[in-house]
Chains A and B, each alone.
Chain A
């Protein structure tokens, strides 16, 4: 009995030698190129997307900083101009109290 098992095992192990080699389909290269073109596109888009995002962020930060600095200067100028037009003096409530 043990001998028959051994024969079966050896026959099964040897069966791998009778397996024919497989061949990739005839359009393998065309399919590969098509897939490469598709997979290249998102990378291209992603690269440009990231670059555009960086440029927009830098532009926004620059604009914000520039605007906030100008606004501070503008406010001071505007208040001073308004005060001189209406002959208003720079006094605080403490000055008023002293005058009284």
Chain B
């Protein structure tokens, strides 16, 4: 996953970023904004929340670039931050939902009410709307690692090797997670269609 901006190598870009060079940061954001935003959206499925979270990812990149040791590529590192931030956001949201009653007692309903999922994925044609909405609702039920592998591979188009680097695991582990993710999705979709028939 190399940055393919003409005339600019990834090493040079990283060096410039470490000096907090404005142009380098703009180049990075321009190159990665759609990738980061798309992955955030796959997790959250809310355009406004995905944009907020994508901004947080780039703020984190800007602030922590000094800690980037270049053991992995810059893109891998940015994807890793995106995955971690998205999962963290979902955990926080679930925690807030559990405490919704307590928040409501203190008049802090906005902690939970702020988040609304879009009715429909904006990148879906109308004839596929129901299927994709159903599939994403089932993806949400997967365990975190299986969900991450599925989204990275199927939605982001990352190879198993790249997904393994992002998740700091082995390729065989990613293959196994993908196999289990598909198996679980097939199972829950079959149950759904059976219950629809009954």
Contacts and interface: CB of A to CB of B under 8 A. Distances in A.
A89 interface: no
A23 B189 contact: no
B62 interface: yes
Interface string A1-22: 1000110110111011111111
Contacts, number: 85
In terms of DSSP, what is the predominant structure of the interface of chain A? helix
B182 interface: yes
B146 to A, nearest CB: 14
A65 interface: no
B29 A13 contact: no
30 contacts: A5-B193, A8-B193, A9-B193, A12-B135, A13-B135, A13-B182, A15-B131, A16-B154, A16-B155, A17-B154, A18-B124, A18-B132, A20-B123, A20-B124, A21-B34, A21-B123, A22-B34, A22-B37, A22-B50, A22-B123, A23-B37, A24-B33, A24-B36, A24-B37, A28-B29, A28-B54, A28-B55, A29-B29, A32-B58, A39-B59
Interface of A: 1, 5-6, 8-9, 11-13, 15-25, 28-29, 31-32, 35-36, 39
Interface of B: 26, 29-30, 33-34, 36-38, 41, 47, 50-51, 54-55, 58-59, 62, 121-125, 128, 131-132, 134-135, 154-155, 182, 185-186, 189-190, 193-194, 197
